[in-house]
Amino acid sequence: MYGNRGCIANSLLFLVIVFLPVIGHIIETIMVFQDEHSPVGTIFWLVIIWAIPFVGPLLYLLFGQRYSRRGRIMFGQPGYTYQQQRF
């Protein structure tokens, strides 16, 4: 069954399997740097994200994100509208 695939199909499958998680790790690394963590917290989350392949990014998305000083952005409302409502 697997022998029927050609070289191009196997190569594309390999590239998708390898590069999609790497792109996700890079995006989460950018998110870690944009959040307001301490230097130790930033290093901790980067190690967790890159050392634990699938669970690390999930842990960061569930527990590691910090909101900026401006507060949460609500879906369906632009950021400036939410800021005007707070004050």
Q: Which two tokens stand for residue 28?
A: 């989460």
User: Dihedral sign, CA of 73, 76, 80, 85?
Assistant: negative
- The conformational region for residue 63 under phi > 0 = left, psi -120 to 50 = alpha, else beta, is alpha
- The answer to whether the beta carbons of residues 57 and 28 sit under 8 Å apart is yes
- At 47, the amino acid letter reads V
> Model-level pTM greater than 0.85?
no
Which mean pLDDT values do the consecutive 10-residue runs of the chain (87 residues) have?
73 86 89 89 94 89 75 60 52
